[in-house]
A = this chain, B = another copy of it.
Amino acid sequence: MVRPKPDTDLLQFLKHVSLDCVVFGFHDNQLKILLTRIKNTELWALPGGFVRKEESLESAANRVLNERTGLDNIFLKPFNVFGDPGRSEKNPIANEIIISGVNNGLEWFNQRFISVGFYALVDFSKAVPSPDIFSDLCIWKNLNETSSLILDHNKILNSALETLRLQVNYQPLGYNLLPEKFTMPELQNLYETILGKDLDRRNFQRRMLSFKILNKLEERKTGGAHKAPFLYEFNLQNYRQALQNGLYGGW
């Protein structure tokens, strides 16, 4: 990544508007969240950024996520807006601005920001996380390791999770998160992590198959200790139709 000149960087952005990204990945049967660690601290944050004066909001989100993951064409969606008056006070990144000596930065930065939350679903195996200019680390964390993020970032993360929780009741999920071929237990594990509860194995399989969004393959997963489970792939035509009309069909 080419670092922008720090003394002009912040002034090319809109005031008062930021974006925060909840980036979901799935690996080792765990839902993962991409986090950055702020330089010279032990504080963790959602990857975020600002909107350039000449750029659309979606372009800004794509740019930020490309910088953090190395990926293009990421599946991302705005899911909520966070605008409480006190939400961005005492931002620990302000210290980093002082230390790094960004001119004009602190005044610009110490204002109130209204943040647009985007969630992104990415293929864990293809992402190459890298930190931004305010952080020294950008890594995947398990959901249960995300309990004390800066500012209102836990609220933002919870709101993104809540969005996914509602969506799994009426829309398919998994295409952007799972590898091309996956087992039914892997898919169930993804659902269980998002819902935060255990599901009955047989009911899950029966209901999931009833949506006609899966193709069962002739192959079985290799390498496991137990009896190897069958592999599945998404039936993309039906998957996309179910995204549009809902899992139970439209009117």
Contacts and interface: CB of A to CB of B under 8 A. Distances in A.
A16, A116, A170 pick with most chain B CB within 10 angstroms: A170
Contact of A17 (B16, B168, B248): B16
Interface string A181-200: 00000000001000100010
A200 to B, nearest CB: 10
A6 B58 CA distance: 34
Nearest to A87: B56
Given A191-B251, A248-B169, A53 B112 contact: yes
A78 interface: yes
A250 B15 CA distance: 41
Given A55-B85, A78-B81, A248 B248 contact: yes
A114 interface: yes
Interface string A57-98: 110100000000000000000101111110000000000000
Contact of A84 (B56, B83, B112): B56
Contact of A81 (B57, B166, B248): B57
Contact of A245 (B83, B84, B169, B204): B169
Contact of A51 (B51, B114, B170, B246): B114
B251 A170 contact: no
Contact of A85 (B56, B168, B195): B56
28 contacts: A14-B16, A14-B112, A15-B15, A15-B16, A16-B16, A17-B17, A51-B83, A51-B114, A53-B85, A53-B112, A56-B85, A57-B81, A57-B82, A57-B114, A58-B83, A81-B116, A114-B116, A168-B251, A169-B170, A169-B248, A169-B249, A169-B250, A170-B170, A170-B247, A170-B248, A195-B251, A207-B251, A247-B248
